[in-house]
Structure 1
């Protein structure tokens, strides 16, 4: 397919999520909800919810409770769009991690972050 993406009205864009500068495709695939807010004063905050249940090795387990990927103080960057025209949506530090256990559905982890 030789479609020119620059002139296309629609395209598939999966968010690129980087933790401490390293893109994590699993977070992009597991993103359930994303909300970025900016105040009149220019302060931005981000709330991103990820699925927190999946394969680890040969078993199913929580993906992010070990805090090796998502942890307090780590830098989180979110970009939207296709390369090379992607746009920075948020850049900040993880301030809180909130476990979500819905009555129906898989466990999730909500990441709360503030800009620098």
Structure 2
């Protein structure tokens, strides 16, 4: 698992299915933490650990989305869609690393 810091936000990136799975459990400690993943492509799960009130600035969202793309095999693609939502909207499925999401927003990077 990789860890980054951007503008005082701790951001963690899973590097395989098991790390992604464990990262969800860690992130669930605060329902407002933000989960990121490439849309329709495999990628690591990226979690932005949100401070106090749960408000996250647009530049932090863009940084996390870019990090999600750069840490994937699709790093050279252009206009990649990244989905993101609060961790409370992410539910583990049957297979390790697979999730079901709701209330997702999109950003292109």
- Name the one with the larger strand percent: 1
- Name the one with the larger helix percent: 2
Question: Do Structure 1 and Structure 2 share a fold, with TM-score over 0.5?
Answer: no
State the TM-score bracket (shorter-chain normalisation). Answer: 0.3 to 0.5
Greater Cα radius of gyration, structure 1 or 2: 1
